Amino acid sequence: MMDNIKDGLEEARGLVEAIASLEPEIQTQLAPSLGQLVESLRKRYATLQSIKEALGQLSMDMKYIVFDLESTRKERDEYKALWENR
């Protein structure tokens, strides 16, 4: 999906260049819609970047949780063995 947004930004740049070559009256008519399109694509790209970062952090957090869980289980088993062998 990220590639689609990047592609959209590239296409929008091409559209901006194409509109710049048109007559000023047509440019004036198309400028607001084009501005909205470009801003929307930028916001989507920023949102996807934030999601990507959040997923990376979540992945790291999950690794720590799994490590902690495994350590806790190991400690529990060691204490249980000590208790049973006293």
Quick: pLDDT tens for 1-49: 556 666 777 777 888 889 999 999 999 999 999 889 889 888 988 999 9
Q: What per-residue confidence (pLDDT) applies to 14?
A: 86
Q: What share of the chain is helix, strand, coil (3-state, %, to 5)?
A: 95, 0, 5
- Render pLDDT for 44-71 as a digit per residue (tens, 0 to 9): 889 999 999 999 999 999 999 999 999 9
Q: What per-residue confidence (pLDDT) applies to 7?
A: 73
**Contact at 8 Å (CB) between 59 and 52?**
no
Distance CA 2, CA 44 (A): 9
What's the first-to-final CA gap in the chain, in angstroms? 60
Other beta carbons less than 10 A from residue 51's beta carbon: 12
Q: What SS3 class is residue 74?
A: helix
Q: Return the domain boundaries, the chain.
A: 2-84
